[in-house]
Amino acid sequence: MEHKYSIVTENLTKKFGDFKAVDGISFEVNKGEIFGFLGANGAGKTTAMRMLTGLSIPTSGKAYVAGFDIYSESEKIKLNIGYMSQKFSLYQDLKVWENIEFYGGLYGMSSSQIKSTTKELLSKLEIEKESNSLVKELPLGWKQKLAFSISIMHHPKIVFLDEPTGGVDPVTRRQFWNMIYDAAAEGITIFITTHYMDEAEYCERVAIMVDGKIEALDKPFALKSRFKTDSMDDVFYRLARQAQRSDN
């Protein structure tokens, strides 16, 4: 199946018992796009992301990620995506270079590829001197930048970023986004969740989930003009507060 899209979903649904965590979502993400995936706690973002990364089997509906069927080709999907989250990214008790080597191995890279990528990656982040440090000794901001670099070291078609900048200082947060822009410019599709509404503005298009459904999907300026407001914060607030099954 030939795609101009990086991700396609059609009525994608996940039920836990009677509870529809994800309720028939349909959308497309363009190749090389920075796509923001927003929603209140409990709206279904994580469940949707788990299906798209091949970690959870949908109850019904279709989805293709990097051209592969999430039902029958989830292993191929895993080789073609990157993933990082705020909560889990790197092994704290491994050294910086060990983490890089470990992930390179998981992604099926050869040892010579890993060697050259390690060098390149460390010099780009200007942390050559920290190569032998344990990851837990690095400041949070460095960790997050390292984790992101590792998540794209195998040049995936898509990278999934789950709240990658939570708790990060405002300067590092922006450096992180500069790295995202650079990755997107190289053709990597970015699928990102965030609680920072200023970051929603940095996305080309934004989907907002409410109660398992996608209630809005558009460019940030189009969403703002639809709700006649000049802040994404306001757009999000107005959509999310209608939620029936909020996490509150």
Partner 1 sequence: MIEVNHISKSFGKAGEVSALSNISLNIDEGQLYGLIGPDGAGKTTLFRILTTLLLPDEGFAVIDGMNVVDDYKKLRKILGYMPGRFSLYQDLSVRENLEFYASIFNTTIEVNYALIKDIYVQLEPFNNRRAGALSGGMKQKLALCCALIHKPKVLFLDEPTTGVDVVSRKEFWEMLKRLKNEGITIFVSTPYMDEASLCDKIALIQNGSILSENKPSALTASFNYSLFGVKCNQMNDCRKTLTHWKEILDAYSFGEYLHVKTTKGTIGENDIQEFLLAKGLTDIFIKDVIPTVEDCFIDLMKTKKT
Binding site for partner 1 (CB under 8 A): 39-42, 139-141, 163, 166-172, 174, 177-178, 181, 185, 195-198, 201-202, 220-221, 231-233, 236-237, 240-241, 243, 246-248
Could you tell me which of 123, 196, 213, 109 has the C-alpha nearest to residue 161?
Answer: 196
Q: Which is nearer to partner 1, 101 or 211 (CB)?
A: 211
**Residue 66 C-beta: closest distance to partner 1, Å:** 24
| Phi, psi at 143, each rounded to 5° | -55, -45
Q: Which is nearer to partner 1, 105 or 187 (CB)?
A: 187
**Residue 57 C-beta: closest distance to partner 1, Å:** 24
**Residue 195 C-beta: closest distance to partner 1, Å:** 6
Q: Which is nearer to partner 1, 12 or 243 (CB)?
A: 243
Q: Which is nearer to partner 1, 143 or 154 (CB)?
A: 143
Name the CA dihedral angle for 232, 229, 205, 47, rounded to a multiple of 10 degrees.
50
Q: How many CB atoms lie within 10 A of CB 214?
A: 21
**Residue 176 C-beta: closest distance to partner 1, Å:** 11
Integer-rounded Cα Rg, in Å, for the chain is: 18
Extract the tokens encoding 242. Answer: 């209608």
Query: Beta strands of 118-224 (E only): which ranges?
Result: 158-162, 189-193, 205-210, 213-218
**Residue 59 C-beta: closest distance to partner 1, Å:** 22
Sign of the alpha-carbon torsion through 201, 205, 208, 209: negative
Q: Which is nearer to partner 1, 105 or 167 (CB)?
A: 167
